[in-house]
A and B are shown apart, each in its own frame.
Chain A
Amino acid sequence: GAGVSQTPSNKVTEKGKYVELRCDPISGHTALYWYRQSLGQGPEFLIYFQGTGAADDSGLPNDRFFAVRPEGSVSTLKIQRTERGDSAVYLCASKQGAETDTQYFGPGTRLTVL
């Protein structure tokens, strides 16, 4: 079946602009995660949804970052007033929901803030 998809694959924006990154999880997966991966680093946790609600948003770096999942499927990560330090690959992962399940990752969105 289809894997996790993310759009756009690349996003270039200017400092101070607002961006939205979209994640479409594997069908039937109730849990969804957002990670950020900087160059040469491992992915870092941002936020975790179980269904429609954010079960853990402790990884969001500041209040410029926000994510929603209104219908428990597609999720959007929103970044306001982007800064050059926000440049990274943003990864989305989903899993079926049980704690034993494996997370499956999308291809990521490469965000570049000029």
Chain B
Amino acid sequence: AQKVTQAQTEISVVEKEDVTLDCVYETRDTTYYLFWYKQPPSGELVFLIRRNSFDEQNEISGRYSWNFQKSTSSFNFTITASQVVDSAVYFCALSETNTGNQFYFGTGTSLTVIP
């Protein structure tokens, strides 16, 4: 069973639009961590954010914001006023403390920002 689901395979938006990338996860652990990574065309995975399961506060960092809701097992990522440089594949990942902290990645959402 897929532990992390990113239902949106590809999204295209026009520059300056807001866009939300969805992430739904599945775990039986009470302690776990959720992550978002960006993978630009160069291929390197760039860390964006980490949340632990006990902290449901939403977080904002510049144009990025994250909405963590345990009730719906979701950890969505919103980019405000998108820019062409935001074009990349974005991965959501889950780390469970009972499995050696390996990451379970979703299949990624490819975001294209059109100028």
Q: Which residues of A contact B (CB under 8 A)?
A: 31, 33, 35, 40-45, 48, 50, 55-56, 59, 89, 91, 93, 95, 99-100, 102-108, 110
- Residue from the list B45, B50, B102 in contact with A48, Cβ < 8 A: B102
Q: Please name the residue on chain B nearest to A31 by beta carbon.
A: B101
User: Which B87-115 residues have C-beta < 8 A from chain A?
Assistant: 91, 93, 97, 99-108
Known contacts being A43-B45, A107-B43, is A48 close to B100, with CB within 8 Å?
yes
Q: By the criterion CB–CB under 8 Å, are A99 and B97 in contact? A: yes
Specify which chain B residues have a CB less than 8 angstroms from the CB of A43 in the assembled complex: 45, 91, 103, 105
B64 within 8 A of A: no
Is the Cβ of A105 less than 8 Å from the Cβ of B45? yes
A42/B105 in contact, CB under 8 A: yes
Interface residue B52 (Cβ < 8 Å from any Cβ of A): yes
CB neighbours of A100 from chain B (8 A): 33, 52
Chain B residues packing against A (C-beta within 8 Å):
4, 33, 35, 37, 42-45, 47, 50, 52, 91, 93, 97, 99-108
Complex CA gap A33/B103 in Å reads: 9
Q: Which residues of A contact B45 (CB under 8 A)?
A: 43, 91, 93, 105
In contact, A56 and B102 (Cβ under 8 angstroms) = yes
Asked, given contacts A100-B52, A105-B44, A107-B43, whether A42 binds B91 with beta carbons under 8 Å apart, the answer is yes
Kindly list chain A residues whose C-beta atoms are within 8 Å of the C-beta of B35.
102
**In angstroms, how far is the closest chain B Cβ from the Cβ of A112?**
14
Contacts of A45 in B (CB 8 A): 102-104
Listed residue (B42, B97, B108) with the most chain A CB atoms within 10 angstroms of its CB:
B108
Residues of B contacting A107 in the complex (Cβ-Cβ under 8 angstroms)? 42-44
